Amino acid sequence: MTERDYIVDFLDMMVAERGVSVNTVAAYRRDLEQLEEYTTKQLYEVNEADIKAFVAWLNYNKHYAARSVARKISTLRDFYKFLYSEKIIKYNPTAYITLPKAEKPLPKFLTVTEMKKMIEEAQKITDFRMQRIAVMMELMYACGLRVSELVELSENAINYDKKQIFIHGKGNKERIVPVAASAVSAVLTYLNFRADFIRGNRKSIWLFPSKSSKSGHITRSAFFKDLKKIALLAGISPTKVSPHVLRHSFATHLLQGEADLRSVQKMLGHADITTTEIYTHIMSEELMEKVIKNHPLSKQ
């Protein structure tokens, strides 16, 4: 049998036994043909060193993204497992080839100016809905709340004297986070609008009540929609804005202000600090600027 016969048999097996799609078969074929073009050997003669060299070539010569390289390695793994199971080869050259780690996308965040602009635009409109969204934005930005934590805040979640907020977080974990004085003041002003809104109705236990939702409090989707509207009013592209972007902005601006990572972890409610480490690129950029600005050698 020729090398091409082995590829055809492998692809037939993937369709018959695993039910892969036509597009997946085409992708497998392209990946195997690419290895064919790269190596001077027959595919069944390729060894582990050849596979590693091919992966390095994909990374450094072809500049493929980690996800694309991982997919090609998966194809080769399946192909050589097939050849090994059919006793065409005596050992699998991909057995110890590891998949590259996919790069984590950097968190998106707004500038301090953009955050202030959005809050100010909402505050200008003195109806309950806009006052509610203004305070919600300020609390999310001041405390790094998750959107589910924000919409489910109880009426008595804030200790106004101690400037602290009690959060019932993910996995039923509770935490207390300090609240900026400006955010506390904003909430106190908002409470007058809230009192008018619920007057004549059953007393609401929620800090951000809603008359239309079954839960009795504003929903995540309603908050998301209002956030997009405020972005437009502030002259910011709605595609840049989401509840999670506000949370990212909180963490990013804290680290830019030289807060330590462990404190940010606690305020965000991350169980593992590795989750918080997605923000370390901010620290790296800040440190680089400080080195360039302050190190004696940089001034020579």
For the stretch 1-49, pLDDT in tens is 778 889 999 999 999 988 888 889 999 999 999 999 999 999 999 999 9
Q: Where is 223: in which H helix or E strand?
A: helix 220-233
Give the separation between CA 255 and CA 95, rounded to whole angstroms. Answer: 42
Q: Choose among 138, 135, 139, 125: nearest CA to 233.
A: 125
The yes-or-no verdict on residue 161 having pLDDT over 60 is yes
**Which of 163, 170, 173, 295 is the catalytic position?**
170
Give the separation between CA 88 and CA 186, rounded to whole angstroms. Answer: 73
**Which of 6, 28, 80, 279 is the catalytic position?**
279
Q: What ranges do the domains of the chain cover?
A: 3-85, 112-291
The CATH class given to the 112-291 domain equals mainly alpha
Interval 181-193 mean pLDDT: 95
**Residue 146 bears catalytic tag:** yes
For tokens 């996800």, the residue is 67
Q: pLDDT per residue over 191-217, tens digit each?
A: 999 999 998 766 899 999 999 999 999
Interval 61-82 mean pLDDT: 91
**Do residues 268 and 247 make contact, with C-beta atoms less than 8 angstroms apart?**
yes
Q: For domain 3-85, which architecture applies?
A: Orthogonal Bundle (1.10)
Model-level pTM greater than 0.85?
no
Give the separation between CA 79 and CA 207, rounded to whole angstroms. Answer: 58
Q: What are the start-end ranges of the H helices in 86-169?
A: 112-124, 128-143, 147-151
Q: pLDDT per residue over 248-267, tens digit each?
A: 999 988 888 878 888 889 99
Most confident of 130-134, 200-204, 270-274: 130-134
Interval 122-128 mean pLDDT: 93
**Residue 270 bears catalytic tag:** yes
**Which of 71, 244, 266, 281 is the catalytic position?**
244
**Which of 146, 194, 217, 253 is the catalytic position?**
146
**Residue 247 bears catalytic tag:** yes
Q: Which residues of 22-51 are buried (b: 16+ CB within 10 A; e: fewer)?
A: eeeeeebeebbebbeebbeeebeebeeebb
**Residue 38 bears catalytic tag:** no
